[in-house]
Amino acid sequence: MPRKSTATILKEMLDHKERGKESYRAAGRLEEQLVANLKPGEIVKLKDGREFELVDKFAKDVKVFQPTYVSRYTFEERKGKR
């Protein structure tokens, strides 16, 4: 099997990163829709048996230190639900 050139490998890496950015942006838009339609503590059940709870990460603290941009909400899988 012929070795790929460094430029080819770099191009493939950049392409993967760009697709990742696009997927991350799409996931963010979907998350915004979910958060707009749910309240913290609500459970979403998937057909495969998993359950996720909308968690407000800032519910207990008025201020939090984060050196980067962070989402207020997250979906946490409920353990033992499968």
Output the pTM of the full model. 0.66
Residue reference for tokens 């409920």: 78
The predicted model gives 37-56 an average pLDDT of 94
**Tokens describing residue 14:** 């950049």
Q: How far apart are the first and last CA of the chain?
A: 43
Neighbours of 47 (CB within 10 A): 5
- Indicate if the pLDDT at residue 79 is higher than 90: no
Please answer whether residues 45 and 51 qualify as being in contact, where contact means their C-beta atoms are separated by less than 8 angstroms: yes
Strand-by-strand arrangement of the 43-45 sheet: 43-45, 51-56, 73-77
